[in-house]
Amino acid sequence: MSDATPHPSHGFFRELFESVFRLPETRHSDPDAPESIGLCRQILRKKPFLRQMYQDYYQYFVREHQAVSHLSGACLEIGSGGGFLKDILPNVLTSDVCPDPGLDRVVHSEKLDFPDESLRAIFLLNVLHHLPDPEAFFNEANRCLVRGGRLVMIEPYRSWWSRVFYRFLHHEPFDDQAPAWTVEGQGRLHRANIAVPWIIFWRDRQRFESLWPALRIRSLERHTVFKYLISGGVSWRALLPGGAYPVVHALDDLLSKCPRVFSIFQTIVIEKQ
């Protein structure tokens, strides 16, 4: 049975989990509405465990930002939502498809409003698997990045554990048998296939490399095991207080040494040649 046609019990477990752990303020909110960006920002402020996880993820961006610091051009985050990357990298332009007072501009991935070779870095955190047309985005990234510039994405990864987590407990679709990279559906967040980053960079890597020979994959670093689930994301209650984060983080680092079994996220670094 394909993941596109989940067993009825999958929906039962997901509904049971959400009924117990769903944050009250998100029960009736529309994640695709522009005001959801502000709500996400508020939730990140009041959830210490989740905020620490974001800070760790942003360190991947800091590392690659430093690697291209000698290049000219702007740095852009796509799909910033309620995140706080600008607190850590103040010169990064933040963006989303919806206007928000906390963001610098509105940007659509399939048509970036930037001149050719004008960006030295593009950052995405949990965004690629929501894009309706990844090929159009990679065309635009290839056009806008300067030589030596980097595209850095933190996205879901398909492992044994992540298949269990994404199929049974996560609300977004997971179809690792999808023949195409495109994502169906409507809305900023409702449109998704969590498996798309794995499909592009693992199953279909040769196709990616043939389509964009100038976009060289520098690294695919797999990580995160339990801390995302424990954080509750921006929709669920955290399962542990913020003080437990260092212990969970250390456990994640240990289990991530077996990434094909445990890792549920990956950091993808691509360099424009």
**What integer pLDDT is reported at residue 170 of this predicted model?**
84
Angle between helices 8-21 and 160-168 (to 10 degrees): 80
pLDDT band at residue 184 under the 50/70/90 scheme? confident
- At residue 182's C-alpha, the angle toward residues 181 and 185, to 5°, is 140
Residue 29 is given by DSSP the state -
Kindly calculate the radius of gyration of the chain based on its CA atoms and give it in whole angstroms.
Answer: 18
Higher-confidence position of 30 and 46: 46
> What amino acid is encoded at 124 in this protein?
L
Sign of CA dihedral 217, 144, 60, 184: negative
pLDDT at 1 exceeding the cut of 60: no
- Whether 43 and 89 have beta carbons less than 8 Å apart is answered as no
More confident site: 98 or 5: 98
Q: Within a 10 A sphere around the Cβ of 88, how many other Cβ atoms?
A: 15
Distance between CA 141 and CA 136 in Å, rounded?
Answer: 9
pLDDT of residue 20: 73
List of residues 6+ apart from 3 with CB closer than 8 A: 163, 167, 173, 174, 175, 176, 177, 195
pLDDT at 5 over 70: no
Instruction: State the alpha helices, DSSP H only, in the chain.
Output: 8-21, 35-46, 48-67, 85-88, 134-144, 160-168, 196-198, 205-211, 227-231, 245-255, 259-262
Q: Is the pLDDT of residue 224 over 80?
A: yes
Instruction: Name the band, by pLDDT with cuts 50, 70 and 90, for residue 13.
Output: low
Least confident of 12-21, 107-116, 261-270: 12-21
- Evaluate if residue 17 carries a pLDDT over 90: no
Out of 4-8, 115-119, 240-244, least confident range = 4-8
